[in-house]
Chain A
Amino acid sequence: DADVTQTPRNRITKTGKRIMLECSQTKGHDRMYWYRQDPGLGLRLIYYSFDVKDINKGEISDGYSVSRQAQAKFSLSLESAIPNQTALYFCATSELGLAGGNEQFFGPGTRLTVL
């Protein structure tokens, strides 16, 4: 069974719709991250959470919000989707902070298309 799962795996929606992407992990990690991946740009950090009570903006948080419902769950929402949010979205976890050299474990990704 996968340690980091994402739902849905694929989603097509229309401009202006609200979308929620969900991430669950069974690794018991405190830290969770949301990234988006665009062709030729690598992965960019949207939001990250160090624990249930801690939420931090990443480099491209505008247009997104997150909710850390429990240690194992971290959801990403697009309040009003727009076409330039079409991308591949990844959730990741880590046991410790990156400062400790701790690796991140990624989910399989959600491919979102906004028409």
Chain B
Amino acid sequence: GESVGLHLPTLSVQEGDNSIINCAYSNSASDYFIWYKQESGKGPQFIIDIRSNMDKRQGQRVTVLLNKTVKHLSLQIAATQPGDSAVYFCAEVKTSYDKVIFGPGTSLSVIP
């Protein structure tokens, strides 16, 4: 079946280091992918998205890489800060259904 999932449920990084959060997906028919950040007690917040015809997109301190060959998506956070501690979700968008399919999430902890 279709699924969007994350390789690691938890990730701990030292403040100032770069973080890499991974995501695997099984359906190659999606149109684009989104990364969301969810801080404790809050709803998910959009970080960045990438269309399926792209392999890289950069934002402020974040980069998303898409490898369609192996159906893998990653979120790289440069110079990780304590405020980056949160659960990160990758999500797959199928425009034909106009809905988002979320993965289970990775919890990122930043060690001061």
Real binding pair: yes
Residues in A lying within 8 Å of B, measured CB to CB: 4, 40-45, 48, 58-59, 90, 92, 97-99, 101, 103-109
- Min Cβ gap A34→B in Å is 12
Task: Note all chain A residues with C-beta closer than 8 A to B93.
Answer: 98-99, 101
Q: Nearest chain-B residue to A103 (Cβ)? A: B46
Complex Cα–Cα for A99 and B94 (A): 7
A98-B99, A106-B43 are known contacts; what are 16 more A-B pairs with Cβ within 8 Å?
A: A40-B9, A42-B102, A42-B104, A43-B44, A43-B89, A58-B99, A90-B43, A98-B93, A98-B98, A99-B95, A101-B32, A104-B46, A104-B100, A106-B45, A108-B42, A109-B42
Number of B interface residues at 8 Å Cβ cutoff, please give it.
24
Indicate whether B68 reaches chain A with its CB closer than 8 angstroms: no
Dominant secondary structure of chain B at its interface with chain A:
strand
Is the CB–CB distance between B43 and A101 below 8 Å? Answer: no
CB distance from A53 to the nearest CB of B (A): 16
- With both beta carbons as reference points, the residue of chain B lying nearest to A42 in the complex is identified as B102
State the Cβ distance, B41 to closest chain A Cβ, in Å: 7
Complex alpha-carbon distance, A58 and B44, angstroms: 18
Q: How far is the CA of A97 from the CA of B98 in the complex (A)?
A: 6
Give A99 to B30 CA distance when docked, in angstroms.
10
From residue A87, how far is it (CB to closest CB) to chain B in Å? 13
